[in-house]
Amino acid sequence: MKKREHVCPPWLSWTLVNPFRSLTQNPHKTLRPFVKGGDTALDVGCGPGYFTTALAGLVGGNGHVIAVDIQGWMLERTRRRLDRAGLSGRVRLHLARADRLDVPSDRVDFALAFWVVHEVPDKERLFSEILACLVPGGILLLAEPRMHVGARAFAEISGIAVKAGFESASPVSIRLSRAALFHKP
């Protein structure tokens, strides 16, 4: 992958964890159908930890979350949120490189790529790396912002996921987003 030309700047991260966001995108309600206690979850492009904290609660004391971002500052924000919630022991923070996730091949049950794939230059590589982390039958929830990603672009992104080896599944309804579930065969 070449260097990313657009990522959410740290000064704008407050918009991602704004309390009013839960009115339209409640993280527990969004993730609860796909994550259960004891699961291992991967949060790709976790930003300041909006979904990471919810994932840590959903996987429970026997579960584990790997939160990945390319910005150390975002990971620090995530760490502080987790500390305040008393959930930091369930989460491993991972600083990725700009050109790859570089996550050890963990046995991940669920992966989340929420409003991040449109920012990645090499989408096929990203999906291949996520696929390598998932257990057979593992789930990827892909969501992209409607305001930045049109229907055609989302279809292209979904096609890249399938080309990388995912089986497509049904669309998912998430407000302000285009979203779909994918499974590892």
pLDDT-derived band at 2 (thresholds 50, 70, 90) equals very low
pLDDT in tens, 58-75: 999 999 999 999 999 999
The top-level CATH class assigned to 26-183 is alpha beta
- Non-local (6+) Cβ contacts of 37 within 8 A are 58, 59, 60, 61, 62, 63
How many whole angstroms from its chain centre is CA 5?
19
Please state the domain extents for the chain. 26-183
Between 99 and 12, the higher pLDDT residue: 99
**Could you report the per-residue pLDDT of 80-137, keeping only the tens digit for each?**
999 999 999 999 999 999 889 988 777 999 999 999 999 999 999 999 999 999 999 9
pLDDT of the residue at 13? 56
Instruction: Report the mean per-residue pLDDT for the chain.
Output: 90
pLDDT at 178 over 70: yes
CA 137 to chain centroid: 17
- With 0-12 / 13-18 / 19 or more C-beta atoms within 10 angstroms meaning exposed / middle / buried, residue 125 is middle
H helices, E strands: number in the chain = 5, 7
Mean pLDDT confidence for 30-54: 97
Total residues found in the chain within this entry: 185
